[in-house]
Amino acid sequence: GEDVEQSLFLSVREGDSSVINCTYTDSSSTYLYWYKQEPGAGLQLLTYIFSNMDMKQDQRLTVLLNKKDKHLSLRIADTQTGDSAIYFCAESMGANNLFFGTGTRLTVIP
């Protein structure tokens, strides 16, 4: 079955870059996603990447995909206190179901 793993916690100083990592086991994954959950709110889709891409950049966000190692990362440049949240990696194989990781709690220190 699908297995998506993330480290549970990450702390960075305001203005530094954050890198959140994710590994997955299913090589047939077609789409990989990053969701953000702020306190008391639902999951917000930040970005997604097709499995045939290596990189996707969107303003302060950079997604890197190493399909050989089944490794996905999310880099947030110039991290701000408003970026403090839980970040979930998720993957799908073309069906509608999303398979999520445990989430990484990012704490930004002023």
> Where do contacts with another protein occur on this chain (CB under 8 A)?
4, 8, 30-31, 35, 40-45, 48, 88, 90, 92, 94-103
Residue 8 or 77: the one with the smaller Cβ distance to another protein is: 8
28-42 as b/e: b if 16+ CB within 10 A: ebeebbbbbeeeeee
3-class secondary-structure state, position 83:
helix
Closest separation in Å from C-beta 67 to another protein: 18
What single DSSP character describes residue 1? -
Closest separation in Å from C-beta 69 to another protein: 20
What does each C-alpha distance from 107 to 29, 48, 95 come to in angstroms? Answer: 29, 22, 33
Closest separation in Å from C-beta 110 to another protein: 26
